[in-house]
Structure 1
Amino acid sequence: MSAATGLSESASTVPVPTSTLIDRAVAALVDARSDHGDVLTRAAWQGVADAGLVGLTVPSAYGGAGLDPAAAVEVLVAVARDFDDSGWLFGAGAHLLACAMPLALHGSAALKERYLPAMCDGRLAAGNAMTEAAAGSDVAGLSTTATPAGPEYVLTGTKTFVTNGPVADVFVVYAQTDADAGFLGNTAFVVEREVPGVTVGPAHDKVGMESVLACAVTFDGVRVPADRVIGAPGQGNLIFQESMWWERTIMPALLVGRMDAVVRHCTAFARSREQFGRPVVAFQAVSHRLARMEIARRVAEQYVLHAATSLVADSHGRGTTASAAKYAATEAAVAVGEAGMEVLGGAGYLRGNPAEALLRAALGARAYSGTNDVQLEIVARGMGA
């Protein structure tokens, strides 16, 4: 199945009231965090599934909400505005966009039936295993190999920065199957955590989004049945590229929602905080900073919405618009987080306020889904530059 075919098939939706999804999602996330603590543990994962976020764009036939990308963006912006932990939302997004969607778009009927319903209802948590210590954005440089052995492949290598890795039940793994085939030399697999040879490492200690766990995962001679290949052998890079279009388009919605929350928080603070006998919002230095924050948020939102529409409507430009949206939203989030800390003054430097949390999350967002330098290169190529 080609990437273009997969996208067009995914566009079928069912009428799901987004307001219902939003209200349910926020309530379920708040309850899960209250019951299980701040970290998105495996025990807490069911709460994310109950929120409906892990299957937003998966077809309803497999237990998802069947939303198109634009509707999914609408839901995630609103949820992120009202739920203040970017880590939980990022974990849900990584599961959906980098794991469930490749299966929904390219998996065989048997793979879809085996995994997607459980990935949508919380029985399975998933982690994407692509990045390696020496091969981040260089998808042609994978050292992880999958060697054919009769009806199986033997998978060997180590992946790092596997979001949800410590809690994942299954992994979407990319490995080299033909060293001489270049771009067509990698293949995507579904690998279950409990098979012999899979070792999940300790969680990375991150600067931001501490609540979502990520780690290295090692595959040491893991035997993977050939029917666990996603798509066909050699299509791994095409499938991964398409999953990045989805991730770069929809994941920034989380930052847009958090930016909105930061702007609102800082505006309310500036109205209530008095200096020299008047609210600080009356000083142009503060009011103009708030205005720039709001403009940056609105511009980022428009980029993301445009990319969401292009994801299914523009067969040629969706990769470029996805990269532009990812770049615009992450850079805006860094700027809004930093400006928000300045508006809050000393209080902005205290851990726990929404501005500093956004800034730490946004710094990481510059790197995930391909660094922002890579996004600029993609946009430049799309321009013919």
Structure 2
Amino acid sequence: MNFEWTQEQDDLYHQAIEFAQKRMNQNLIDEDRNQVFSKEKWQACADLGLLGMIIPEQYGGLGLDALTVARVLEGFGYGSKDTSIFLSIGAHIWAVEMPLLLFGSEELKQKYLPKLISGEWVGAHAISEPAAGSDAMSMSTTAVKDGDDFILNGSKTFVTNAPVADFFITFATINKKYGFAGVTCFAVEGDIPGVSVESHMEKLGSRTSPMADVIFRDARIPATNVIGSPSSGSRVFSRIMFWERALILAPFLGAMQRQIEDCVRYANERVQFGKPISAYQAISGKIVDMQVRLESARLLIYKAAWELEHGDPTMPASIAKLVTSEAAVQTFLDAIQVFGGYGYTTDFEIERHLRDAIGTKIYSGTSEMQKMIIATTLGLKTQG
């Protein structure tokens, strides 16, 4: 791995910071309180090219490599105080656009990727089910072949972006007795009969990144909208999860960097008992720990991004996701302690970052699931 950024990578990083500082930080407290998804900000991200960074130019994207994308997302996270939108953008890119890019037919790529990249459509990834939880492949949603179509029936839950989505990547089984070998991936337009979004969820954090259940009632999907091939859904899901786990938390690197700088500034300026609180080891030690966690998470995400295109990303992606999510939660907890009573208030915005960060330990596979993946990759016997 080369740790020296090119001029182009550095320019894109600073461009992302400048854009986010100008366009992403208005009305955040009110938007969080009222659970407002800003289509205006979403469109601004699309206009900059953020929604199509990894997608080749022939479909309207920028055609950037994974490591460059990680760097740009870090810059975006440094500039944007809206940590909630990180998860909406991540779900849109990694769990919606990537399966189309990696496994979709040329017809599906041409039909759907430009709309997703341009911001015209918001994408959502519907796989989790109420009874399945982390056992994603043990699903009850069915797809029954009927002529040139499949008929989908079932329900999905915890679907990020669902209330504002125009398009869904979803999974259903063509034969439940086959287990994971029966799972099939579908591209589903949100306005077709039989697809409905219900039970909009109110959450602890990530409140401007909406979530809801998606219900399929005799939804007729053309067989040409199968992504990959019938029964290849498990492979599709596994592959795109490498990308999501490796890169969905890259913006939190920038958010943690900005938080550390704010803590350093405050600790040097805040005087207690005749000296700045930075002089007390109880405070300086917390900030040092923040920096150590950030440096570790940053290197792990960059390694995972590199492995996506040069090696086996299975373990690096899970390690990066595990460490970065845990680091983000602890960093914002420590920041509240540094700021004291002020850190606990809404106006200082740290509490919102903490609430948003807690969700990162659950999204894209819980921390416990990442440990299971790492254990299995190490060769540990994880089943009795």
Instruction: Calculate the TM-score normalised by the size of structure 1.
Output: 0.91
Question: Which of the numbers 20, 27, 48 marks the counterpart of 2:19?
Answer: 27
Work out whether residues 29 and 51 of structure 1, in 8 Å CA contact, stay in contact via their aligned partners in 2: no
Q: What is the number of residues matched between the two proteins? A: 369
Work out whether residues 17 and 79 of structure 2, in 8 Å CA contact, stay in contact via their aligned partners in 1: no
- Cα distance in 2 between the residues matched to 1:339 and 1:229: 46
Letter in 2 for 1:287: S
Q: What 5-or-longer segments of structure 1 have no aligned partner?
A: 1-14
Shift of 1:18: 5.4
Q: Does residue 122 of the first structure (1) align with residue 119 of the second (2)?
A: yes
Letter in 2 for 1:373: E
Decide whether aligned partners of structure 1 residues 28 and 81 sit closer, same or farther in structure 2, where only a CA change above 3 A counts.
closer
Q: Does residue 318 of the first structure (1) align with residue 313 of the second (2)?
A: yes
- Cα distance in 1 between the residues matched to 2:27 and 2:48: 14
Work out whether residues 21 and 52 of structure 1, in 8 Å CA contact, stay in contact via their aligned partners in 2: no
- Helix, strand or coil at the partner of 1:347: helix
Question: Which of the numbers 163, 167, 179 marks the counterpart of 1:166?
Answer: 163
1:313-346 Cα deviation digits (max 9, x unpaired): 11xx311110011001001111111111111111
Decide whether aligned partners of structure 1 residues 344 and 35 sit closer, same or farther in structure 2, where only a CA change above 3 A counts.
closer
- Helix, strand or coil at the partner of 1:181: helix
- Helix, strand or coil at the partner of 1:212: coil
Q: Does residue 298 of the first structure (1) align with residue 299 of the second (2)?
A: no
Work out whether residues 129 and 136 of structure 2, in 8 Å CA contact, stay in contact via their aligned partners in 1: no
Letter in 1 for 2:54: T
- What residue in structure 2 maps to residue 214 of structure 1? 211
Question: Which of the numbers 198, 207, 215 marks the counterpart of 2:195?
Answer: 198
Q: Does residue 136 of the first structure (1) align with residue 133 of the second (2)?
A: yes
- Cα distance in 2 between the residues matched to 1:290 and 1:258: 14
Decide whether aligned partners of structure 1 residues 199 and 43 sit closer, same or farther in structure 2, where only a CA change above 3 A counts.
farther
Correspondence list, 1:221-300, <5 A: 221-300=218-297
- What residue in structure 1 maps to residue 105 of structure 2? 108
- Cα distance in 2 between the residues matched to 1:98 and 1:243: 6
- What residue in structure 1 maps to residue 376 of structure 2? 381
Shift of 1:146: 0.8
Shift of 1:89: 2.2
Deviates more, 1:179-188 or 1:27-36: 27-36
Q: Does residue 364 of the first structure (1) align with residue 359 of the second (2)?
A: yes
Shift of 1:22: 4.8
Decide whether aligned partners of structure 1 residues 21 and 344 sit closer, same or farther in structure 2, where only a CA change above 3 A counts.
closer
- Helix, strand or coil at the partner of 2:159: strand
Shift of 1:200: 1.1
1:240-270 Cα deviation digits (max 9, x unpaired): 1111111100012122111111111111110
- What residue in structure 2 maps to residue 8 of structure 1? none
Letter in 1 for 2:139: L
Give me the identity figure in percent.
36
Correspondence list, 1:58-77, <5 A: 58-77=55-74
Shift of 1:357: 2.4
Work out whether residues 25 and 51 of structure 1, in 8 Å CA contact, stay in contact via their aligned partners in 2: no
- Cα distance in 2 between the residues matched to 1:201 and 1:272: 49
Letter in 2 for 1:19: D
- Helix, strand or coil at the partner of 2:177: coil
Shift of 1:290: 0.6
Letter in 2 for 1:295: V
Question: Which of the numbers 350, 354, 365 marks the counterpart of 1:355?
Answer: 350
- Helix, strand or coil at the partner of 1:196: coil
Shift of 1:71: 0.7
Work out whether residues 17 and 75 of structure 2, in 8 Å CA contact, stay in contact via their aligned partners in 1: no
- Cα distance in 2 between the residues matched to 1:237 and 1:356: 37
1:119-165 Cα deviation digits (max 9, x unpaired): 11111110000111111221221111111101000001111111111
- Cα distance in 2 between the residues matched to 1:226 and 1:144: 16
Work out whether residues 249 and 308 of structure 1, in 8 Å CA contact, stay in contact via their aligned partners in 2: yes
RMSD: 1.9
Work out whether residues 173 and 190 of structure 1, in 8 Å CA contact, stay in contact via their aligned partners in 2: yes
Work out whether residues 13 and 71 of structure 2, in 8 Å CA contact, stay in contact via their aligned partners in 1: no
Decide whether aligned partners of structure 1 residues 29 and 247 sit closer, same or farther in structure 2, where only a CA change above 3 A counts.
farther
- Cα distance in 2 between the residues matched to 1:246 and 1:149: 33
- Helix, strand or coil at the partner of 1:160: strand
- Cα distance in 2 between the residues matched to 1:22 and 1:155: 45
Q: Does residue 184 of the first structure (1) align with residue 181 of the second (2)?
A: yes
